[in-house]
Structure 1
Amino acid sequence: MFPRTLLCFALSTLTLPALADTVWLKNGDRLTGKISVLDGGKLLIETEYGGSIPVKWSQVATLESNQQLLIKQDDVTGEIAKSLQAADDGKVILSNGGEPRTVALSSISQIIHPKPLIQDLTWKGNIDVALDYKRAETDTDDYDVSFDTSARHGLWRHNGKGSYNREYRDGVTATDNWDAEYALDRFIDEHWFWQGRLQYKRDKIEDVRRQRTIGTGPGYQFWDNELGAFSLASLLNRSDYEFASGEKEDFYSLAMKWDYNRYLVGKTFELFSQGEIGKPLENVADYELDAAVGLRYKVTDWASLNMKAEKDIVSGAESDLDETRYSIGFGIGW
């Protein structure tokens, strides 16, 4: 009987969330789960029973966690705590293996997960869809689908993105194009990496029907954490153009790419921007710009609403291009 009781106790112990984080609120409630991030006065807790739960930081009495967390008490410096221990109301104990230190919760501005240089596979991405129907003197139907994904394992990062856009005006196709890009990053240290990328664009309406670009060059990752990421890459590109007339053209260029996203208000909102500005090494054009900036609002753990503005400029070419597109739609993320 005793061995059976001991076995049941051991099994029940294994099923308990022993490593779960605990947050005590000032009203006496207690939440258990996994602390995700603290930013903008919101503490985000991932729970099995309620999904992602944002809590006002001002309503937290104390908390505890066995996770390794980066605690920031100002905008510049931070301290990696091996664990957090509950303390009196309005305080928490930071444990780093040495002498524990008690700090006031009001002095903590951010809590995020530190990311080591070498880590297991992480995969994140978004798929956004925008539909626009206009019924007026000119009937317009516009469909826009885009995806952006990134997977990292150790020193390697795989980046993929693409988009498809089709527009009808009074039943006639006015826009029909798509593009896809794959980029491979090899990290040299925590920040510096070398990128190689391949891009392909196809347009069935405009004069430039096909565009192929191969590029390579160094990049710098300013940050990449629970609150977002920002990177720059400088590339030497070779571009091949094929026109509707059948003529072909190729040239080399220098370009700067950026990729930025920032989560706000407990990861409820996401500000993002991607783009590239380039200068041809020959007298093909003065410069080229392909940029996008937008905002996502997280409705559920995986669904979001998004607004996006895109800008395409080719200056100094035989046929200058200056287009701006705005879209509002929905998407899914992981």
Structure 2
Amino acid sequence: MSRSTSLSLLGLSIALCSSAAFADTVWLKNGDRLSGTIRFFDGSKLLLETDYGGSIPLDWKKIATLESDHELLVKLGPVDGERAKSLLAAEPGKVTLANGEAPKTIDLTQIEQIMKPKPLVEDFTWKGNVDLGLDYKRGERDSDDYDVDIKTQARHGRWRHNAIADYNRELKDDVVSTDNWSAEYALDRFLTEKWFWQGRFEYKRDRIEEVERQRTLGTGPGYQFWDDELGAFSIATLANRSDYRYSNGEQDRFYAMSVKWDYNRYLIGKTVELFSVGEVGRPLSGAADYSLDAEIGLRYKVTDWASLNMKAEKDMVSGAEGDLDETRYTLGFGVGW
């Protein structure tokens, strides 16, 4: 064997050993061992990124122990956490947090979250998506349809920030038939792992329909059924102060009760996402009978950040001074993070 060949084989061996040494490892209770990179744990699933099967969600209850050479933030509660330089395998059902001269072995059942620490707020997580829908038709009747939706959510400790905005505009033969936009901000404070208290502000503007402006300020309790890498589902019951202004100049101001929901679920290896958000409300007094603002749709991931989406939206207000009943179907593309 020539010297150049020997050196090449030696270099390849060193590279393979190095890559293996830096790979995270998860041992399952059935004796299997998986290697990859630990990305996130929140709830019941550990997300392990591999070069042979993509991102694999592992049932936390099936894991015996694990190890990682990367620095990770291990949270033992909604607020308390420890920044571990590495994780070391321990006896089944336990893991050792290596942090200098004082390693600490804990039960896996004590861990609520594992994530890569952020520079400023260590347990800060941020996710969201922007969906765009464009539709141009040219024929006996020309139509242009634009739809933009933005949804984002950030969480740190017991606080969660939620923001939603959308814009819709449609022209038929150069005549505007739909022109509206809305924005909402909600702040959640978690009281327990599942229960939270929400405060929110919402504003809607419509230049075509009878209900010209809607402004809502509300607060109330909510419940988080689940929130992990495979999806989330929460509901909130709010007491609201609503102000409606109609195109004829009339106004309504009243208190109302409403129920909000926010649901999404990943399917088929996280390539397909089913989602639905909305709110249904009824005033305690006033001219409006009820209101509904909801959407349901599907996203198909083309890449890690790009997706195709289709959805249906329903916006209804029933009242004495004016009514709103609008249904929209859109097909478009988007980006997510």
Same fold, judged at TM 0.5 (above)? yes
Structure 1: how far apart are the matches of 2:294 and 2:276? 7
The 5 A counterparts of 1:134-283 are 134-283=137-286
Choose the corresponding residue for 1:95, options 92, 100, 103.
Answer: 92
Kindly indicate whether residue 62 of structure 2 is the aligned counterpart of residue 53 of structure 1: no
Runs ≥4 residues deviating over 4 A: none
CA gap of 1:282–1:293, structure 2 versus 1, over 3 A, is same
Choose the corresponding residue for 1:82, options 59, 65, 75.
Answer: 65
The 5 A counterparts of 1:100-119 are 115=113
Structure 2: how far apart are the matches of 1:173 and 1:165? 11
Give 1:284 shift.
2.0
Give 1:97 shift.
2.7
CA gap of 1:245–1:52, structure 2 versus 1, over 3 A, is farther
CA contact (8 A) 1:270 1:295 kept: yes
**Corresponding residue for 1:103?**
none
Aligned residues: CA RMSD: 3.4
**Corresponding residue for 2:323?**
320
Give 1:174 shift.
1.6
CA contact (8 A) 1:83 1:94 kept: no
Give 1:325 shift.
1.0
Structure 2: how far apart are the matches of 1:253 and 1:126? 30
Structure 1: how far apart are the matches of 2:325 and 2:64? 50
What SS is found at the alignment partner of 2:295? Answer: strand
Give 1:249 shift.
1.9
CA contact (8 A) 2:150 2:166 kept: yes
Give 1:135 shift.
1.9
The 5 A counterparts of 1:63-82 are 70-71=59-60, 78=61, 81-82=64-65
**Corresponding residue for 2:335?**
332
Structure 1: how far apart are the matches of 2:53 and 2:330? 28
Kindly indicate whether residue 305 of structure 2 is the aligned counterpart of residue 302 of structure 1: yes
- Give unpaired runs (5+ residues) of structure 1: 1-11, 24-29, 38-42, 58-68, 72-77, 85-92, 99-112
CA gap of 1:96–1:31, structure 2 versus 1, over 3 A, is closer
What SS is found at the alignment partner of 1:286? Answer: strand
- Give unpaired runs (5+ residues) of structure 2: 1-14, 27-32, 41-45, 68-89, 96-110, 115-120
CA gap of 1:18–1:248, structure 2 versus 1, over 3 A, is farther
Give 1:31 shift.
8.9
CA contact (8 A) 1:208 1:243 kept: yes
Structure 1: how far apart are the matches of 2:62 and 2:48? 20
Structure 2 length normalisation: TM-score? Answer: 0.71
CA gap of 1:254–1:80, structure 2 versus 1, over 3 A, is farther
Choose the corresponding residue for 2:136, options 133, 138, 159.
Answer: 133
Give 1:258 shift.
0.2
Residues 120-143 of structure 1 show CA distances to partners (whole Å, capped at 9, x for unaligned) of 000000000000112232211000
CA gap of 1:17–1:209, structure 2 versus 1, over 3 A, is farther
CA gap of 1:272–1:114, structure 2 versus 1, over 3 A, is farther
CA gap of 1:54–1:122, structure 2 versus 1, over 3 A, is closer
CA gap of 1:284–1:18, structure 2 versus 1, over 3 A, is farther
CA gap of 1:283–1:20, structure 2 versus 1, over 3 A, is same
CA contact (8 A) 2:252 2:286 kept: no
AA aligned to 2:247 is A
Structure 1: how far apart are the matches of 2:336 and 2:20? 27
**Corresponding residue for 1:284?**
287
What SS is found at the alignment partner of 2:203? Answer: strand
What SS is found at the alignment partner of 1:294? Answer: strand
Give 1:209 shift.
2.1
CA contact (8 A) 1:121 1:153 kept: yes
